[in-house]
Structure 1
Amino acid sequence: MPDNETYDVAVSFSGAQRELAENYVRACEALGLSVFYDRNVSARMWGRNFITEFRKIYGQGIARYVVPFFSRDYLGGPYPMDEYNAALTWSIELREDAYILPIMVGDVRVPEELLSSATAHLRAEDWSVEELAKITFERVRTTQPAPPPEPGVLLPRIAPGGYSPYETLEAALSLVGRRFQEQAPLLGQYGYLCRVRTADREVDVRVETGGRSVYGLKVWFDDSFGQDQLAVGIGWPSFQGRGMNGWATAEWDEQHQEGRLKFADGLHGTGDALLTADQFFDALWRKVVEHIEQTHR
């Protein structure tokens, strides 16, 4: 494999899921994504140790994301598990949970030490391969870093002219709604029903147990302060209507060359770090989980 070749996505699967994986790959490629798929590199792999070469793909950041198709066959296969362990080690070193984007196939149960039960996943039976590819495309598009400048070229340390804070907020709101919908069912095993309603400019979350609402959270577009931002209402029903006790604004992150969010949590203070949309969701989801834990102490 050329040393400078990179991929948007690398797929990992067992032989039993090859047809599903290949259809997903072709759908992703039709949208313009570069995908590492073993049959695409058969000629270049001729005579090489594919185990060693594949570990570089999955475990050294050559792919921006790894999509494993978890199945019973996958967990029992030495080759797919070698790929996954390489990806898992890399994600731990990066402290980047969202590096691995799991897709479940059938009634597989992944051991906790391999994949946390709190990690959102998609289920192959719930989506067409075209829908899975579109979701993947949106993830890559919203986190696509700008190419680095040529060595020696001095450029202004400001956001590029095409950067849109509104687009950053819009993409973040869409991701927050989608990820709440994906992870809401996980609370059912603890006796909680999490209802998620999404609209063009709002995500509304309600947590219920025993027939009553016990927690809520809203995220919506707000421009009442003369600046586009995502307003956050945390802790419903302790506040009424659109009570705002947090907000997120969009800023250009020079280090990562992308738009990110500064989240001001009115309950716990403002952090200095700029968050990706996934990290913003994680901060909101953590509040739901912490509330459930506190009420059961």
Structure 2
Amino acid sequence: MSEDATYDVAVSFTEELRSTVGEVVETSRQRGLTVLHGPDQTHEWWAHKEEGDLPNARVRFFLPFVSTVDEFTTAMLRAVKEGNEHVLPVLVGDLTVPAELLHPHVSYLRLADHRTDQLTEALAGRVEAAEAAGAQRAPVAEVVATAREAAPVPAVPATFSRYAEQQAAMRYLGEQLTAAMPGLERSGFVGTVHLGDSRITVRVERAGDTVYALDIQRGGIGGDETVNFVVGRHDAGSVCSNGWARPVYSTETGSAVLELHDFSVLGRSTGEPRTYRREDLFAALWQRISTVVAATVR
């Protein structure tokens, strides 16, 4: 194979797909596509060759045919999610890409039973679109080696629950607010906290006048798994929000956090969500309460 050998696609497959992939290769060549395909170039072969021993050719796309998600195909799917435009997996049958490997904006090719012609046409369309866009071919050895070496994408644990985290956040905020309120008495204020099944009611008074009111509600405009914040007294049953937080899992820290959409609950409207640990969100809320209360005695 010469150094300037070029192909539209290179294929990789499992042993059980050998015959089916052979049919795809044949129909693709009849369609006018150039295909790098060797009888021994299975997933196992591509997975264990050193980069210098892989084919010295440039391709538009590397096509791993994915019928099961094993170590090699996981690496290829991960490469797609990370933005490698030269890896183009072909999903076989009803296979579903795991959520942690799924790229939300990639339309994967799929090989349905006995419909190699449909796959060939879809593949030809991708090649033609790449040509029209001026996309360059890439060394297939580099494409595969880079994909194999990519770090795994941290996954959200199957046991993560937004509703359990919502419950934990409500319980934590209620406990911390209850414990902190007596400290306001030193400044001449009375703070009360009522803990209900789905609402925490916070009121701060001075001489019988309410100077600060906050309701923390289970569910709201962000969805029933969120924590909703309403500042100020309002009519019972009214729908309003000064901010809401959704429990999310941070793969960076390996823990659950609260993604706060702040309209004014912390005194500012940033327009961008910000994540907080439960402890940090309470600290921010208490700082806001202290600031408002302090302002009433000036």
TM-score by length of 2: 0.45
Larger Rg: 2
